[in-house]
Amino acid sequence: MPSPLRLGGREFGLYEPVIMAIVNRTPDSFYDQGATFRDEPALARVEQAVADGAEIIDIGGVKAGPGEEVTAEEEARRTVGFVAEVRRRFPDVIISVDTWRHEVGEAVCEAGADLLNDAWGGVDPKLAEVAARYKVGLVCTHAGGAQPRTRPHRIAYEDVMADILKVTVGLAERAAELGVPRESILIDPGHDFGKNTRHSLEATRRLGEMTETGWPVLVSLSNKDFVGETLDKPVKERVLGTLATTAVSAWLGAQVYRVHEVAETRQVLDMVATIAGHRAPAVARRGLA
């Protein structure tokens, strides 16, 4: 049996869905175009996300896509002080930082981060060493060998899920061997990262193969290109497609959901958990009066 997920001193049951709210400390993020680049809007976003049901706040200092170069020093400037302030204002929230750089990982762990979200598939192997040294969690993601901030071009897999499993489980086992607590390691199929839309759809359809490994699965689906291309919708019109994909992922056993729309995601996850028999209805009055 897999162990319960433990992050930041909190433990989550095997069927307990967990929401990770996105807070971008970038001026050029694809979804919010810098709405939370400044401190006060970002802190307000954290407060609202926690109120809406987020257990994890994921702070990122570099947008995933191509753009202006952001050095490690600049990434740290955008994230480290903010991590410390979130820790001060919200002592019980789990703080994650979206970074692939070990230098940034070290600095944010010193500031109070509980989880390092490596979206680029271990491109900097020292990041796992940092997680081990600080005994924080680590997200092990499949990125198809892509370099950070690059888009896939005519990428092909003989079997995309086989490749996802090989990479993510391999990264997770290495992290555990280094000393990262096993119960604090997650695997992520990396939707859109090193993948075209058909790859991401297949990864979703076969997500059960990831959950069967026993490692808790994180999915980052929110308003991504594979949703947009599937429905032919621009970024701001992808919420319904994202929520549909979230419901499917929940049914197939994913546990952590990295999202922009926290309240809507919480309703979807609660509904799926209740249909699956893992959660009781909030009220049960029908037919009793």
Residue 2 lies in a domain: no
Question: What is the pLDDT, as a whole number, of residue 1?
Answer: 65
Read off φ and ψ for residue 279, nearest 5 degrees.
Answer: -145, 140
Strand pairing category for 56-60 and 94-98? parallel
Indicate which residues carry an active-site annotation.
Answer: 224, 258
Residue 4 lies in a domain: no
Question: What is the pLDDT, as a whole number, of residue 274?
Answer: 98
Residue 226 lies in a domain: yes
Question: What is the pLDDT, as a whole number, of residue 29?
Answer: 79
Alpha carbons 108 and 123: distance in angstroms, whole number: 18
Question: What is the pLDDT, as a whole number, of residue 199?
Answer: 98
Residues 258 and 249 sit within 8 Å (Cβ to Cβ): no
How many distinct structural domains can be found in the chain? 1
Residue found under tokens 């509904």: 271
Residue 187 lies in a domain: yes
Question: What is the pLDDT, as a whole number, of residue 271?
Answer: 98
Reading the chain (289 residues) residue by residue, the pLDDT tens digits are 678 999 999 999 999 999 999 999 998 877 776 788 899 999 999 999 999 999 999 999 999 999 999 999 999 999 999 999 999 999 999 999 999 999 999 999 999 999 999 999 999 999 999 999 999 999 999 999 999 999 999 999 999 999 999 999 999 999 999 999 999 999 999 999 999 999 999 999 999 999 999 999 999 999 999 999 999 999 999 999 999 999 999 999 999 999 999 999 999 999 999 999 999 999 999 999 7
Residue 7 lies in a domain: no
Residue 19 lies in a domain: yes
Output the domain CATH number for residue 137: 3.20.20.20
pTM: 0.96
Question: What is the pLDDT, as a whole number, of residue 189?
Answer: 98
Question: What is the pLDDT, as a whole number, of residue 56?
Answer: 98
For 109, residues 6+ apart whose C-beta sits below 8 A from its C-beta are: 116, 130, 131, 134, 136
Among the listed residues 114, 118, 139, 132, the one whose alpha carbon sits nearest the alpha carbon of residue 178: 132
Give the sheet arrangement for strand 56-60, strand by strand.
185-188, 137-141, 115-118, 94-98, 56-60, 18-24, 256-259, 218-220
Among the listed residues 18, 20, 3, the one whose alpha carbon sits nearest the alpha carbon of residue 215: 3
The two three-digit tokens of residue 121, written as one number: 């598939």
Question: What is the pLDDT, as a whole number, of residue 217?
Answer: 98
Residue 281 lies in a domain: no
Q: Which domain holds residue 237?
A: 14-275
Question: What is the pLDDT, as a whole number, of residue 249?
Answer: 98
Residue 282 lies in a domain: no
